[in-house]
Amino acid sequence: MTTDLATLTSAADGWDDMAKEFSKQEKAYKRDVHGISMGQTWLGLSADAANRRFDTTLTEYQDAQTEAKAIASLLRDAHTQFVDLRGKLRTARQEAIEADMKVSDQGVVSYDTQRVSESTRTAYRHDPDFQESVRKSVRSWQERIDQLVKAVTDADKGVEIAFNAVVVDTDLQDGTFNGFNGQAKGDIEKYEAENAEEIATRIAGGEKVSAAQLAELDRAFRDNAKSKEFTQTLLSGLGASGTMELTNRLSTLSHGGKDRGTFAGLQEGLANSLATATKNPDSAFYRKFRTDMQKAGVQKFDLDVANQKISVGVGHGQQVRGYQSLVTLMQAGDGYSGQFLKDLATDIRAVEDKTQGGDPDIWDLSGHFSGKDDGWFANDPLDGVLGIMAKDPSTTISYLDPGPDGKNDNLTYLLAERDWNHVDTTRWQGKVEVTGEDTFDQDVRAGLGLALATGATGNVAGADGTEFSRHTAAQARVMHATVNLLDYGHADGTFGEDKKEPRTGKADELLAGDDYAALRGPLSQALADYSPDVVETINGDAPGGRAGRAEIYENGEDSQIQNSRSSLIRMMRGVSEADDIQNFERIYHAQQGYMSEQLMDKDFPNATAALNEARKYGEVTGALNAVGGDVKMDVHDDKISDATDTRFYGYHLGGGMITNIPIVGDMSQRLVDISLNNWLAGVQAEEGSLAKEELNRSNDVAQDNIDRYFDRWGEERSLAPEVAEDAAGEAQQSYISGRQTAYEALRSR
């Protein structure tokens, strides 16, 4: 902190001056010495021998200039880094002091009781909660100071590596042994990369590497995570194939044996280096790495988790493909550019899509790769890329959006055309083991599910809910096409001009399959986010009506899906097919929340307007309850037997929060809580009707709930009692229509 860093730039100036002096000497030597052997006055064997020696000496004068200039550049590079890092450390220290902390000369942070008021000191002495708060603050500041000190230390080590390397003559053919370095570089990060490459290559080759060298590689990754020069130099040195060999070795070491955490950290460092190196798709490095990866991506590599998956017989000793290794590596990092993710997905599809000359079975392996033990390996690299892409909404939307002209077929390929079965099976015919039908892994379509939720909503899958709103045209196209593809197998739903016979919707049956289980949670989040569109489609308010249209309603940021009512009902039923009823709860709560907002926020100039809104509420609630009844929710009684009768919007039956649900205002919250009070009993009453095939039987529980709901609505809006009563009656009538609609959409018996 007290070093005069200006001495670094002064030294750099001295080295530049030295280079200039060598330049003068080079010219004099070339003129007065080297030139003698080049003329006609000295000929013969002695002249030839002298000329070779004079060439070497002339080259040394030139190499000396290169080395001197490189050292000057390294000194200035070091100066820039140290000034920046020291400045950050000084800023952190000052901010800590302003936050009533003391920071010693050794960087130790403590609470400065002398800076605070007497009342604060008293609280600090006697209030345990305040003491704990101070301790947390001290720890936070200490961590920040420690990280910045470590950053300086890391940078200092990088400078040391560069200065040790810059003076080494690496050209064994220049006529000298350990002469001046004609290949000297003036970039610290490039020397760090070369040093890291040497260690990494030894790891990839299975050589024993010392703990100190592992620590140095980790430091290099940490110190240069954002350095284009370091990351591109490292990966260029390793090459695409070498990078795959390294990541496979790190995968093996981080999932077995000792020091797993060390190797997992190195894997993360390598992944983040890849993210930085591929940031610019227009760079020469990017183009070459992508071209090389297109070759390495289909090559086979050794990986212990794969070749040991089957102990004997078919599948034993199997190898993995480069793209599987690459995506496995990428899952350990983050920050990838959108273009890199899209290019990678495009390249992987080209390898597997038979319409592009690919092999749908190229990723097939024996044994399963899912769960906590083996799920880290991306045996399905395209699904793995989609899972990574799902963290980047704009990229995901761009990749999945069919576009206004429908020319982007990625969504159609993923939902209707792709072969998702990548697990080889065998069967025995007598004493011979023969190949059986391919099957799917337990985490099949996991990445696709996340990408669909992100692409349809513009929110990262699993993120906290936001206020109800419409969507962009691109988001709506993703959602609209997803519903149609899952329900009818075609992005245009039932509206294709070339169809020879009516298409039958089957989203509920499709999503019930185990191979679609990973889509159910994310799609329930998307359906909850699209509650305004879904509710209005069911009650007939949507631009496309209840029958829907082939395309979305495009209106900028207020665009809407226009799927048919029956398709949306089947989607709701399909995503609710699970032991955990939270998917259905999420949709139920969200739609009730949206309808409550409408009832609380809209103006009703007359009783007719109020009755019309009540009709819509009843129709949607009837459909929802019918869907819930079809889910057979009584199997969950053991989970909810202790739950109270009072429900709150956004809370699970067991009391936990329902995640990813849109939020509503306080007034709507009070109203929607009434609709959720004992709502499960109304759903189970529908289930009872289904079980007894008494679809026309009234649902007294649901109707009582509607009465209470509109009573509260009338109180909150200060309406005449008869208006609320009439509204409840209207809602009860439309409830019957809504439930019947749902039964028909589900082909319920």
Backbone phi and psi for residue 256, each to the nearest 5 degrees, phi listed first = -170, 155
Q: Average the pLDDT over 694-708 and give the result.
A: 81
Q: Using 50, 70 and 90 to split pLDDT, how confident is the model at 37?
A: low
pLDDT digits (tens, 9 = 90+) for 114-123: 999 999 999 9
pLDDT at residue 321 in the model: 98
Classified as helix, coil or strand, 729 is: helix
Taking only the tens place, the pLDDT of each residue in 118-156 is 999 999 999 999 999 999 999 999 999 999 999 999 999
pLDDT at 36: 76
Q: Is residue 245 in some structural domain?
A: no
> How large is the average pLDDT for residues 635-661?
64
Residue 638: the pLDDT is 45
655 pLDDT more than 80: no
Q: What is the pLDDT of residue 686?
A: 84
Interstrand relation of 365-366 and 423-424 (parallel, antiparallel or unpaired)? parallel
Per the prediction, the chain carries an average pLDDT of 91
Establish how many alpha carbons lie within 13 A of residue 647's alpha carbon, considering only the half-sphere containing its beta carbon.
Answer: 25
Q: Is residue 560, in this structure, part of any structural domain at all? A: no
Between CA 184 and CA 191 the distance in angstroms is 10
- Expressed as residue numbers, the domain containing 47 is 6-186
- Please give the residue that has the higher pLDDT: either 443 or 644: 443
Residue 555 pLDDT greater than 50, yes or no: yes
Per-residue pLDDT, 581: 81
Average pLDDT rounded to a whole number, residues 265-286: 98
Of 186, 212, 247, the residue at which a domain comes to its end is: 186
Q: Which of 165, 186, 207 is the last residue of a domain?
A: 186
Mean pLDDT within 64-71: 97
Give the pLDDT score at 44: 80
Query: What is the spatial distance between Cα 381 and Cα 385, in angstroms, rounded to a whole number?
Result: 6
Provide the pLDDT for residue 629. 87
Average pLDDT over residues 653-682: 85
Residue 707 belongs to some domain of the structure:
yes
Residue 410 inside a domain? The answer is no
Which pLDDT value is given to residue 585?
A: 92
Q: Which of 282, 371, 381 is nearest to 330 (CA)?
A: 381
**What per-residue confidence (pLDDT) applies to 334?**
96
Model confidence at 25: pLDDT above 80: yes
Tell me what pLDDT residue 243 has: 98
Structural domain total, the chain: 2
What integer is the mean pLDDT of 58-68?
95
For the cut 50, the answer to whether the pLDDT of residue 749 exceeds it is no
Pair 626, 565: CB distance under 8 Å:
no
**Tell me, what's the pLDDT at 643?**
43
Of the pLDDT bands very low, low, confident and very high (cuts 50, 70, 90), residue 698 is confident
pLDDT surpasses 60 at 634 = no
Assess if residue 328 is contained within a domain: no
Give 61-128 as a 3 state SS string: HHHHHHHHHHHHHHHHHHHHHHHHHHHHHHHHHHHHHHCCEEECCCCCEEECCCCCCHHHHHHHHHCH
Give residue-wise pLDDT tens across range 476-500: 999 999 999 999 999 988 876 556 6
Q: Is residue 712 part of a domain?
A: yes
The more confidently predicted of residues 697 and 74 is 74
Does residue 202 fall inside a structural domain? Answer: no
Residue 605 has pLDDT above 90, yes or no: no
Q: What is the pLDDT of residues 507-529, one digit of tens each?
A: 999 999 999 999 999 999 999 99
Q: Check residues 577 and 227 and name the one with the higher pLDDT.
A: 227
Residue 398 has pLDDT above 50, yes or no: yes
Hey, CA dihedral for 220, 226, 229, 231, is it positive or negative? positive
3-state SS of 299-356?
CEECCHHHHCCCCCCCCCCCCEEHHHHHHHHHCCCCCCCHHHHHHHHHHHHHHHCHHH
Q: Is the pLDDT of residue 642 over 50?
A: no
Question: What's the rounded Cα separation, in Å, for the pair 619 and 626?
Answer: 11
Cα separation, 645 vs 676, whole angstroms? 9
Domain presence at residue 136:
yes
Q: pLDDT exceeding 90 applies to what percent of the chain?
A: 76
